[in-house]
Amino acid sequence: MKHILGVSAGFHDAALSLINEKGDIVFAGHSERYSKNKNDENLSLGLLHEVTKYNVQHIAYYERPWAKQLRQLYAGQGIEWNKLTAKQILINQIGNEFKAFPSDRISTHNHHLSHAAAGFQTSTFDRATVVVIDAIGEWDTISIWGAEYDRKGQAVYKKLWRQTYPHSIGLFYSAITSRIGLRPLDEEYITMGMAAWGKPNWYESMTNAVVKNTHLVTMHNNYHTGLPENFLEAATNEDIACAAQMVAEDLISQVMQRARGFGWSSNLVYMGGVALNCLANRNLGKWFDRIWIMPCPGDAGSSLGAAALAYGRPINWVDAYLGHNIDGPYPVQALLDELSTNRIAGVASGRAEFGPRALGNRSLLADPRGSRIKDQVNEIKRRQKFRPFAPVLLEELVDQYFDMPSGFVNSRYMQVIASCRRPDLFPAIIHVDGTSRVQTVPRDGSGIRKLLEAWYDLTGCPMLLNTSLNIRGEPMVNDRADADRFEQLYGVKVFS
Ligand SMILES: [Fe+2]
């Protein structure tokens, strides 16, 4: 069978996606999981070996190399104009594996359009408003699209609006992340978690200092190079995070209002790295009735978007378990026994998740009840104590325990926060603002679903604490060897 290989590489979080001629996603995975280099920008051989056994007829690259170089020159990013083609970039990335591949079977696609396609063509919508917000593509930083399928079933995208470099919500948020001592383009989710601990005292000062025109999403400065050294120097990190989240939400609101105003569709497909801001996402239902955020909305997901553009038709989205396979049945009974006795257990089973969240196949799971479990899991994860853990629960029971924001009837990929109705019962999975980043699991026959059902039967508790299974400083566990290292380092059993 013929396949299309989508490639995202050379910036951060390189990834490959492979689809077949029926539109099935055969594989999608991140380079970092193989190289163990977090957010690896380069394609690794281990990742490539997952796809070389297939008959690749076409390679689709997630952006336009020349346009990007032009912008990098404009931005003074210290690169030389080298007119690299997508094929040359691929060869640079992965040595000779692509050398013999015919150039006329390699296509390049606009960065934001790749984001849009990764969302729209995996959604169930025939027609949707697509919003892309990231740090930067070639030039676009925000784009709004009207998407639909034509009579032949081909996806058609009409660009309705865009904002361009250097005006960027993503670059602003990354600059804030760097300002408070975290790693930009990686730890924005920690900035977001910190926001709830801050006070909004600096909101107005930050708005005035940063935003030129809220409606147009223009900024006073280029935040690509960071913030001025003395930027709000009297403010605490928590207060800066709080103000930045508020400013970002103001700007995102303007974009969503504008997007809805085009009247194209009340279905929203939301993509780009900023779509991972699950705190801001709670507001999306103000403008849209139905919402789809592909679980890997950032640049890694655009490997799938580029492949989708080359394919042209809808992609058969089933779930996010698309990466490396650890063969064998999901170890339900072993996990159940361990959770009942020791309250914490690891699992590395089936296919790895595509996207930044562990959704039950590469997870550290724990009994969420009681006040001590958070500290116990934190001892293993050794992460900032202010951050809560997330719950995973039976989808049909979500309304009993959480108030889901409008527009979200479920949250299968941990993309939105919800207020917990029983914070007294589950303190480990509640943030200081009373919310949780919920993962709901439908009756899909998945391993995590079977485990939750068995756990519920045994204990009457419909949820587990779920955090990613990773050695500190490393990406998520990928294969059994990683899982063995985790066991040895932390003394927690990992079942396959
Ligand atoms: Fe992007």
Angle formed at CA 409 by CA 135 and CA 23, multiple of 5 degrees = 65
For residue 151, the CA-to-ligand 1 centroid distance in Å is 30
For residue 136, the CA-to-ligand 1 centroid distance in Å is 6
For residue 256, the CA-to-ligand 1 centroid distance in Å is 18
For residue 301, the CA-to-ligand 1 centroid distance in Å is 9
- The answer to whether the bond into 314 is cis (omega within 30° of 0) is no
- At 186 the pLDDT is 86
For residue 11, the CA-to-ligand 1 centroid distance in Å is 9
For residue 216, the CA-to-ligand 1 centroid distance in Å is 20
User: The tokens of 418 are what?
Assistant: 């919800």
pLDDT in tens, the chain (496 residues): 999 999 999 888 999 999 999 999 999 999 999 999 999 999 999 999 999 999 999 999 999 887 777 787 777 766 666 667 777 887 777 777 777 889 899 999 999 999 999 999 999 999 999 999 999 988 999 999 999 999 999 999 999 999 999 999 999 999 999 999 999 988 999 999 999 999 999 999 999 999 999 999 999 999 998 888 788 889 999 999 999 999 999 999 999 999 999 999 999 999 999 999 999 999 999 999 999 999 999 999 999 999 999 999 999 999 999 999 999 999 999 999 999 999 999 999 999 999 999 999 999 999 999 888 998 999 898 877 778 899 999 999 999 999 999 999 899 999 999 999 998 999 999 999 999 999 999 999 999 999 999 999 999 999 999 999 999 999 999 999 999 999 999 999 999 9
For residue 272, the CA-to-ligand 1 centroid distance in Å is 5
E strand intervals along 354-445: 362-366, 390-394, 402-403, 417-420, 435-437, 439-441
For residue 137, the CA-to-ligand 1 centroid distance in Å is 5
State the first-to-last Cα distance of the chain, in angstroms, to the nearest integer.
31
- At 82 the pLDDT is 67
DSSP string computed for 30-41: ETHHHH--TT--
Asked if 488 and 370 touch (Cβ cutoff 8 Å), the reply is no
For residue 375, the CA-to-ligand 1 centroid distance in Å is 36
For residue 271, the CA-to-ligand 1 centroid distance in Å is 9
For residue 298, the CA-to-ligand 1 centroid distance in Å is 6
- At 271 the pLDDT is 98
- At 80 the pLDDT is 65
- At 383 the pLDDT is 79
For residue 134, the CA-to-ligand 1 centroid distance in Å is 5
CA–CA dist 251, 169 (Å, integer): 7
